[in-house]
Structure 1
Amino acid sequence: MAPLRFSANVSWLFPELPGLPERLQAAGRAGFEAAEVAWPYVEPPEALASAARAAGMRLVLINTPRGDQEKGEMGLGAVPERQAAFREGLEQAVLYAKALGCPRYPALPSLDGGAGSTEARSGDTAVGYRLWRQLFVFLLIHLMAGRVPQGADRAAVKGEMETVFLENLRHAAGVLAQENLVGLLEPINTRITDPQYFLDTPQQAAAILQKVGRPNLQLQMDVFHWQIMDGNLTGNIREFLPIVGHVQVAQVPDRGEPGSSGELDFSYLFQLLEDEGYQGFVGCEYRPRGDTVEGLSWLRSYWDRKGRPRTGQ
């Protein structure tokens, strides 16, 4: 069983440092070879790519733009009447993905099962896709669903929002396929973090992915959100891991380091991911309780026990 590969979410880690270039340098010094950035758009793409190369870091994940922050938007994928803005944001995210060192890999396995068929996740296509994902390290794009509009009843607008989301995801899958990129759907808990977020459980996300039926769209598993919404992490990981493209970790309930006290036993969870053959990155998306480097003692301990794989492995 291969050891897990970890990426530093520099939107969360190293908050003591002022900007993304400085945080990338700090992550490299701490032993990371891969990083993720929630919203890289404060930096020009070429400057951020140069900073990542200087730090010896590979960027593996970004989010699509949030939208209009003054209006409280947090993604646009499922938001009615914002389809044009979602597509503009998607184009911006693809531009960044291309600039941030994402090379042109061999083409994705055929997305047809015929086109758009849910059968694209089964049989030879799915097997070929999983092998392709394991062989190559590239940048993923989290396609943010967004929030239920202010004042709207969630149950009343759920059908309309899902229809918008499906339309946008089919468009996104086609755009991403042209660049050999992969999009992710992340459920965000509505009990603590964001009560208005549309996509809040792995079951809901998996059902939407099945309806879209494109193998270059996958599930993003943040165990912090999954534990808060549903618990049953062992069962849910085993059920959904075949369609998971990225994992993120933080302790529950206060989103601290995996080594801090809380509900989750990360020694068990990391072993479960290894046993289930997970090949992607595990993103460190948590709020350090003190100095970031001191708080990485859990990761240094993991590397001492398991070894530290190189980014390209």
Structure 2
Amino acid sequence: MSSLKFCANISWLFTELPDFSQRIYAAASAGFQAVEAAWLYECDLKELQNARGATGVEVILINTPPGDVKSGDLGLGAVPGRETEFREGLDLALKYAKALECKRIHLMAGRIPLGSNRALVAKDMEAVFVQNLTYAADVLSKEGICGMIEPINTRVTDPRYFLDSPHQAAAILEKVGKPNIKLQMDIFHWQIMDGNLTQNIEKYFPIIGHVQIAQVPGRNEPDTAGELNYSYLFNTLKQHDYQGYIGCEYKPSGSTKEGLGWIKDYCSK
């Protein structure tokens, strides 16, 4: 079995530093060979390119723009009436991905509109999401980029998020039917919504394109106290011969660097 590879999510780690390009340098200094991030769009793209080039760190994943955050947006992929904005956001994400040689873009689904009943709007939102994902697949395939869809738990993190379980995501991916649109498994969200991680990893492994981690319930380092046995989960991924990076998308309990001992401890086992 090959060793697992970890990448730093610099939207969550190294936030002691205000600038994302500085965080790339910090991640490299801490031993990471790759980083991922949510939204880099307020950063100077040239500075990000310079940091990537100087460190040799790969950029593994970025998100599509969230939309109007002040108005409550968190992605637009499944939001009816926002298709043009979704395509504009995809173009911007693609610009950054190409400049940073990033091969994965998380295509954010978005939230149930305020005042709407989830059950009543679910069918329409799914249809919009399938349409947007199909469009994105064709655009991204020309650049050799994979699109990711990520279920986000609605019990704790975001009650209005449209895509909230691996089962829902898998059903949507089947309707899209494009090999370059895959499932992003954030173990934190999967545990909160469904648990049953061993069976869900087994069932959905063929369509998983990226993995992210955090302990439950605190969303801290994987070796902190919580519900999840990460030694077991990491070994499960190794047994399935997972070849991609595992994104460290957690809230450090203290300073980022002080909390990274778990990687060394795991790799020494």
TM-score range for the pair, normalised by the shorter chain length: over 0.9
1:233 corresponds to = 197
| Runs of 4+ displaced beyond 6 Å | none
Which of 152, 166, 173 is the equivalent residue of 1:202? 166
Distance 2:143 2:205 in 1: 24
Structure 2 matches for 1:76-87, cutoff 5 A? 76-87=76-87
| Alpha-carbon distance, 1:293 to partner | 0.9
In structure 2, the residue corresponding to 1:40 is in which secondary structure? Answer: coil
Structure 1 gap ranges (5+): 103-137, 306-313
Q: After superposition, what is the alpha-carbon deviation per residue over 1:146-182, rounded to whole angstroms, capped at 9, x for unaligned?
A: 0000110000100110011011011000000111110
1:29 corresponds to = 29
Q: Normalization by structure 2: what TM-score?
A: 0.98
Paired residue type of 1:68: D
Q: Is the 8 A contact 2:103 2:144 kept in 1?
A: no
| Alpha-carbon distance, 1:302 to partner | 2.1
Q: Is the 8 A contact 2:173 2:182 kept in 1?
A: yes
Paired residue type of 2:28: G
Distance 2:125 2:224 in 1: 37
Q: Normalization by structure 1: what TM-score?
A: 0.85
Paired residue type of 1:167: Q
| Alpha-carbon distance, 1:53 to partner | 1.8
Paired residue type of 1:96: Y
Distance 2:268 2:17 in 1: 27
Paired-residue identity, % = 58
Q: After superposition, what is the alpha-carbon deviation per residue over 1:114-156, rounded to whole angstroms, capped at 9, x for unaligned?
A: xxxxxxxxxxxxxxxxxxxxxxxx5200000000001100001
1:40 corresponds to = 40
Which of 244, 248, 255 is the equivalent residue of 1:280? 244
After superposition, the CA RMSD in angstroms is 0.8
Moved more, 9-18 or 243-252: 9-18
In structure 2, the residue corresponding to 1:172 is in which secondary structure? Answer: helix
Structure 2 matches for 1:1-313, cutoff 5 A? 1-100=1-100, 102=101, 138-305=102-269
Distance 1:191 1:90 in 2: 28
| Alpha-carbon distance, 1:301 to partner | 1.3
Paired residue type of 1:86: F
